Amino acid sequence: MQLDSALLTGVLFGTATWLILQGSFVRILFGFILLSHAVNLLVLTMSGEPSGKQAPLATESGPWVDPLPQAMILTAIVISFGVTAYLVGLLYRLFLDHGTTHAGSLYAGDSTEHEKTK
């Protein structure tokens, strides 16, 4: 069990959560980037204690670390990069359309169903 990884994952998750909950687009973006780091690390940790093991190359002599989580993360990194890129696009478009970089002020003027009936 790798305590350091567990704690680091926790810190990254917590920080990311905090950042996402801030209304600022920049912080939300940073939050999601950190969140993907956190979850990648979480998956990587599942490959077990790495010390005393080799990289998963057949040319090395074992024991090797588990290559499957690494492969999963490689896929996930690319996916989350794509999604992050899309998020950047979305935030930029929101900025273009509404001239704000804060999620809180995006919806400021919207009347709700409840208010409409008043």
Partner 1 sequence: MNLVALPILLTLSTALTTLVWRRPSTARRGFVLGSVVAQLGVATWLVFASWTKGPLVMLMGNWGVPWGIVFVIDLFSAIMLWLAAVTVLAGLLYGFYELPVRLEHPLRLPLLQFLAFGIHASFCTGDLFNLFVAFEVMLIASYALLTLEADNWDIKQAFPYVAINLVGSTLFLGAVGLVYGFLGTLNFADLSERADSLAGDPRLTMLGTLLLMVFGIKAGLFPLYYWLPHSYPTLPTPLAAIYSGMLTKVGIYAMVRLLGTVWPHERTLLHEGLAWVSGFTMLVAVIGAISRNYIRGILSFHILSQVAFMTLAVGFFTPWGVTAAIFYIMHHIIVKSSLFLIGGVGACLNRTDDLARMGGLWRVAPGLGVLFLCQALSLAGLPPLSGFWGKYLIVVEGLRLREYVLVGASVVASLLTLFSMIKIWMAAFWTEPSHSVVHAEDPRWRPMTRVVGAMTVLSLGIGLGAEGAVQLAARAAQGVFNREAYRQAVMSARGKEVFHFGPAQEETARRMRPEHASSGQLGAKGGARSPGDFQSEGHRIVGASGREPACRTLDKGT
Partner 2 sequence: MKVQEILVLLAVGMPVAGVPVLAWLGPRLGRWVSGLALLFPVVSTGAVVGMASGMAPGMRHVVEWAWIPSLDLPLSFLVDGLSVFFGLIVCGVGVLVFYYSHQYFHGRHLHLARYYSYLTLFMASMLGTVFSNHVLLLFIFWELTGLASFLLIGFDHTEEASRRGARRALLVTAGTGLLLMVGLIVLGENAGSYRLDTLLAASNTWAAKDGLNMAFLLVALGAFGKSAQVPFHFWLPGAMAAPTPVSAYLHSATMVKLGVFLVARLFPIFQGSDWWMPLLTVVGFTTLWLGTTLALLSHDLKMILAFSTVSQLGYLIGSYGLAEAGGIDADYLHILNHVFYKGALFMLVGVVDHAAGTRDLRELGGLWRRMPAVGVIFAIAVATMAGMIGTTGFVSKEILFKEIFAVMKTHGALGFYAAMAVFASSVLKVAVCGRMLWGVFFGREPAAIGQRFHVPAPAFIAPPAVLAGAALLFGCMPTLLEGALDAWSVTGLHAGGRGELAIWHGLTPELGASVAVLLAGFGLFAWGLRTGWRWAELPGSLQWDLLFERGMDRFSTFCKVWTSWTGAEHPARFLLISLSAVAMLTSSMVVVYVPESFWSALLTGELVQPPPDPLRMATAALVAMGALGLIGLRSWTAQVISLSVSGFLLCFYYVLYHAPDLALTQILVETVSLILILYVLARFPRSAQRGEEMAVESTAERLWKGFVAVLMGGSIVALHIWVLAPGGMERVGPLFVEHTVALAEGANAVNTILVDFRGFDTLGEIAVLLVAMLGVVGLLMRYKRTPAEFREGPLGPPGYGIHHN
Residues forming the site for partner 1 (CB under 8 A): 20, 28, 32, 35-36, 38-40, 42-43, 45-46, 68-69, 72, 75-76, 79-80, 82-83, 86-87, 90, 93-94, 97-98, 103, 106-107, 110, 113-114, 116
CA distance 32 to 45: 20
Q: Which residue has the tokens 């600022």?
A: 24
Nearest distance, CB of residue 59 and partner 1, angstroms: 19
Q: Which does 61 bind (CB under 5 to 8 A by kind): partner 1, partner 2, none?
A: none
Nearest distance, CB of residue 5 and partner 1, angstroms: 11
Q: Which does 98 bind (CB under 5 to 8 A by kind): partner 2, partner 1, none?
A: partner 1
CA distance 36 to 58: 29
- Which residues have a Cβ under 8 Å from the Cβ of 81 and sit 6 or more positions away? none
Q: How far is CA 52 from the centre of its chain?
A: 30
CB 84 within 8 A of CB 32: yes
Nearest distance, CB of residue 109 and partner 2, angstroms: 11
